[in-house]
Amino acid sequence: MSLDAPRLSAADLQDLPGRRPVVSTEVPFSGRVWDVRRDEVDLGGGGVVTRDYVEHGGAVLVLAVREDRGEPEVLVIRQYRHPVGAEDWELPAGLLDVEGEAPLEAARRELAEEADLRAGRWEELFAFTPSPGSLGEVITLFVATGLSEVPAEERHEREHEEAGMPVGWVGLSDAVAAVLGGQVRNGPLVVGVLALAARLD
């Protein structure tokens, strides 16, 4: 049956936004950062189903790129992530948790807070949903170039899991090799590195 499915073009490959009718909803768990919501959803011919998911306000992801040493290099940060039991190499990122703050402003803030960097040029690449079956998060990806350091007296004081995070620059080809070789698994890093490589190819 699937072999007989139609061949689609790039123009056909567009998500269809639109929430199905919610018959009832509740919040069985309310956490410090996220809540878990349980909805009874009417799928029409598919009947009414229960869906539990994490409510999420969204996030930003920053590809800080320098090209002053030849090949483009990307800034990476290593941070402990308890749910997966590992210190992940990641891109600078953060939650949209400041009321009224636009994604670009959040990206500027996160780059300064996590990497002590500012960027003279910003470009929004796209937004993506990392785990749409269980998580309402939408991540907006930005490329930051024209980098300079935040003056020492203006730097953010890091604490908790952000204190002492290793930071480094990796050549784009090495970053792609690490992704395809399974050395790094962090989803936003994988998406960001491969998107940048495809864009510059």
Q: Is 69 left (phi over 0), alpha (psi -120 to 50) or beta?
A: alpha
Residue type for 13, please?
A: L
The whole-angstrom separation of Cα 164 and Cα 14 is: 42
Which residues make Cβ contacts (< 8 Å) with residue 113, sequence separation at least 6? Answer: 94, 156, 158, 162
The whole-angstrom separation of Cα 186 and Cα 183 is: 10
Establish whether 110 is a catalytic residue.
no
E strand intervals along the chain: 22-30, 35-42, 48-55, 59-66, 73-81, 86-90, 93-95, 117-128, 139-149, 167-171
Contact status, residue 137 vs residue 131, Cβ threshold 8 Å: yes
The catalytically annotated residue of 55, 101, 123, 162 is 162
The residues assigned a catalytic role are 162
